[in-house]
Amino acid sequence: MRWSTTTARTVFYGACVVVTVGVLGQLFAEILPGSVASRIGHNSEGVVLALLVAPWIEFARPRLAGTSREWPVTLAVAALCTVIALLLLQSDLPSRFRTLNETFLAAAVVIPYVQLRRPLPGRLPVVASAVVLAVIVVANRTAVVTDLAETLAVLLLVPIGFDVVDRGILDPQATTSPRLRLGWYVAMVVAPIAFSVLEYNIGFEGIVGEATRYAVRVAEAFIFMLLVELYFTVVQGRVGRPAAGSDDHVAAGQAAATGPGDPSGSSVAAPPG
C-alpha cells in the first residue's frame, strides 16, 4: 500500500509539473495538435494552483498545525504568493506567464483558508461562498471582477469543496456522503463543458449571456478542485467518516459488530475459559 500510494503521489505531482513546464516552455505546441495544445495552455492555471495547494495540504499543513510557527509561516507564504501575483501582473512577460497572477493570488487566500483548524464554525463555509457569489453577480461588469474571474471562482468553490462536500480532506473525523461527493465530481466535469457549449455553440444575450461568458472564463477553477479533491480522496483515502444512514455507515457498523475475525458476518460468542 505504501508503494502504491507513493507511486500515485509521484504520478500526480509529476504530471502537474510536466503540464506546467510544457505550457510555460511551449513544448506542447511542438508535439500536439494546435487545438489540443491551446486548450491545455488555457487551463494551465488550475494545474499550477493544484501544484501549490496540494503539497501544502499534504506536507506543510500537518507539520505546522498547533505549532508556534503555524501562522507566521502560513501568512509569510501567503504574502509571498501575493507579491509574485503582483510582479507577474506588472511584468512584460508573455501572457502564458502573466496569466498566473490569478493563480498566485488565489493561492494567497486558499493556503491560509485550508490552514484553519477544522471543523469551521456553523455555516461559515456556505456564507463565505455566498458572499463571493454575491460579489460576482453584483459587480460582474466591473474590470476588477472580470479580471479576477478565475481567482473569484476558486474562492467560490473552495469552501464548498473542502468544508461541505469533501470535509474529510482537512478533517479526518468529519462525516461525508459518497453520493454527494460523486455528484460534486460529476458537476466539476460537466459544468465547464456545459458553459462552453452554451457560450460557443448556442449563445445567449442579456443576463444569461453575461453569465455564460463569465462562466467560460473560470474552467481552471473546476480543474483545480477536481484534481485536488480526487487526489486526496482516491489516492490518499481522505474521505472522513461515513454519514449516518449511508451504505458505508451501515457497512461500518456491521463490521464493528461482527469484529474483524469473522468474515462470514455472524457474531458468535467465544466459549468461557
Distance in angstroms (rounded) separating the CA atoms of residues 269 and 259? 11
Instruction: Give which of 58, 81, 78 is closest to 8, Cα–Cα.
Output: 58
Q: Can you tell me whether residue 220 is helix, strand or coil?
A: helix
Q: What is the pTM of this model?
A: 0.86
Those residues whose C-beta lies under 8 Å from the C-beta of residue 86, and which sit 6 or more positions away, are 101
How far the first Cα of the chain sits from its last, in Å, is 38
Q: Crossing angle of helices 206-215/178-197, nearest 10°?
A: 110
The H or E element that residue 175 is part of is: strand 175-176
Q: Could you state, in order of their start, the residue ranges of all structural domains in the chain?
A: 2-241
Distance in angstroms (rounded) separating the CA atoms of residues 20 and 174? 33
Tens place of pLDDT per residue across the chain (273 aa): 455 788 999 999 999 999 999 999 988 888 887 766 777 777 889 999 999 999 999 999 999 999 999 999 999 999 999 999 999 999 999 999 999 999 999 999 999 999 999 999 989 999 999 999 999 999 988 999 999 999 999 999 999 999 999 999 999 999 999 999 999 999 999 999 999 888 877 877 778 788 888 898 899 999 999 999 999 999 999 999 987 765 555 444 444 444 444 433 333 333 343
CA 239 to chain centre: 14
Residues forming a β-bridge with 176: 242
Q: Crossing angle of helices 149-160/124-138, nearest 10°?
A: 160
C-alpha dist (Å) from residue 102 to 63, 107, 142, 218: 27, 9, 16, 11
CA 141 to chain centre: 26
Distance in angstroms (rounded) separating the CA atoms of residues 69 and 188? 35
